Amino acid sequence: MKAIVCTDYGPPDLLQLRDVPKPVPKDDEVLIRVRATTVSAADCELRRFDFAPWIWLPMRLAFGIRKPRRRVLGQELAGDVEAVGRKVTSFTKGDRVFAATGIPLGAHAEYICLRENPQTGAIATMPSNLGYDEAAAVPYGGGEALQFLRKANVRSGQRVLVNGAGGSFGTFAVQLAKVLGAHVTAVDSAPKLEMLRAIGADRVIDYAREDFTAGPETWDVIFDVVRGTPSGRMVMRLTESGWLLMANPGFLQIVRARWAARGSRRRVSFTASSGTKDDLAYLSGPVEAGRLHPVIDRRFPLEQMAEAHRYAESGQKLGNVVVVVA
Ligand SMILES: NC(=O)c1ccc[n+]([C@@H]2O[C@H](COP(=O)([O-])OP(=O)(O)OC[C@H]3O[C@@H](n4cnc5c(N)ncnc54)[C@H](OP(=O)(O)O)[C@@H]3O)[C@@H](O)[C@H]2O)c1
């Protein structure tokens, strides 16, 4: 089968289309014919391996010291079940599924084997109203955004601010917060604001013109996906028992946020467990009801994976970059 192999840590040109052995499902695994996948910010980070010093070593131990051990990137996909192991009970050949791979990665290929009930990641039946290209963009950003918003128990009438709202996590967080009945402020660069209004943001802020951490306004939940936002100041912009959710924090940001929240009822969280099968099933609900739309910017064929990475890390990406696997 064809797969995109990441031969070393570094620039997109290191990604090569190669023939690799087609995987065979073990007893508890599902073999999926991948029809579409995505290139996320996290795929680009794993390829570049430019993580902050405090996380660099643990990540390098997990993903390969000298060269990538998980040589096929890709964290989400949609496709068809081609075969199942003998202990698999929830899927059969021909099912249309979408999936988050979790830590094993591997979606940038024609086929992938995933466990029916993995420790990280999940497989579920695809939303019936989406094509493979749209469904592929839901599991990772949608699953992570859902996990974070659930931590803060976002509910009707609350005020939620999403910082970095125009990307993969952000576009799902904005829409999910609206589904939960919140008033949503979306912060990103000027070219992304029209799209953010279109997906339901009640108010938009261009971060180049206005610093939301500097004003007097407060929110019940601030969901931040941007590395380097002053975290102590974000805590001060929370209501009395508000939540700061940081998807992409540096070590000092965590320390400063916790320090700023000490002695108060404000809470800070910076991890989310990866989405579960139930999360994917939950996301299908608003998707099928027309209340949650994956935002797709560009589509690339598998052969143009390096180009897809270049675009995904260009800063222009609106929502998600999809890779179609013919
Ligand atoms: N904590 C966890 O459990 C966890 C799990 C998985 C991944 N992550 C990390 O979380 C991040 C997820 O991001 P994503 O996939 O949503 O990334 P993304 O698609 O690249 O979106 C990031 C958005 O932030 C915007 N942005 C950049 N600087 C900004 C600023 N100063 N103020 C406001 N917005 C700004 C970007 O727009 P412009 O480029 O136009 O500025 C972009 O629209 C990744 O870094 C990933 O590694 C965390």
DSSP calls for 28-95:
TEEEEEEEEEEE-HHHHHHHHT---HHHHHHHHHHH-SSS-SS-S---EEEEEEEEE-TT--S--TT-
CA of 188 to the centre of ligand 1 (A): 10
With a 6 A CB cut-off, is 52 part of the ligand 1 pocket? no
Select from 105, 188, 222, 251 the residue to mutate for testing ligand 1; criterion: most ligand atoms less than 8 Å from CB.
Answer: 188
227 alpha carbon to ligand 1 midpoint, in Å?
7
* CATH level 3 topology of 2-138+294-324: Quinone Oxidoreductase; Chain A, domain 1 (3.90.180)
Query: Residue 273: what pLDDT?
Result: 73
In tens, the pLDDT along 159-205 reads 999 999 999 999 999 999 999 999 999 999 999 999 999 999 999 99
Residues of the chain with CATH 3.40.50.720: 141-269
Residue-wise pLDDT tens digits, 105-149:
999 999 999 999 998 999 999 999 999 999 999 999 999 999 999
Ligand 1 centroid distance, CA of 130 (Å): 25
| Residue 272 CB–ligand 1 contact under 6 Å | yes
* Strand extents, DSSP E, 200-319: 203-206, 219-224, 238-246, 267-269, 296-301
269 pLDDT exceeds 80?
yes
- pLDDT top residue among 287 and 215: 287
CA of residue 312 to ligand 1 center, whole Å: 11
> Sign of the C-alpha dihedral, residues 33, 39, 42, 46?
positive
- For the four alpha carbons of 74, 76, 80 and 81, in that order, the dihedral sign comes to positive
Residue 101 has pLDDT above 90, yes or no: yes
Predicted confidence band at 326 (pLDDT cuts at 50, 70, 90)?
confident
169, 268, 314, best to mutate for ligand 1 pocket (most atoms within 8 Å of CB): 169
Looking at the CA of residue 163, tell me the nearest atom of ligand 1: 33
Q: Which two tokens stand for residue 132?
A: 């493979």
- Its CATH architecture, for the domain 141-269, is 3-Layer(aba) Sandwich (3.40)
The SS3 of residue 313 is: coil
> Pairing between strand 2-6 and 183-188?
unpaired
Q: What is the pLDDT of residue 12?
A: 98
Q: What is the DSSP letter of 103?
A: T
pLDDT value at 96 more than 80: yes
Q: In the prediction, which pLDDT does 52 show?
A: 87
Residue 307: HSE in the Cβ half-sphere, 13 Å Cα cutoff: 9
Numbered ranges of CATH 3.90.180.10 in the chain:
2-138+294-324
For ligand 1, atom 46, which residue shows the shortest CA distance? 42
Q: Does the pLDDT of residue 247 top 90, yes or no?
A: yes
Residue 247 alpha carbon, nearest atom of ligand 1: 1
Nearest residue (by CA) to ligand 1, atom 7, is: 42
The average confidence (pLDDT) of the chain is: 96
Q: β-pairing, 320-324 with 296-301? A: parallel
Q: What predicted TM-score, i.e. pTM, was given to this entire model?
A: 0.96
Residue whose entry in the numeric block shows the structure tokens 């009438």: 157
Q: What is the pLDDT of residues 47-89, one digit of tens each?
A: 999 998 889 999 999 999 999 999 999 999 999 999 999 999 9
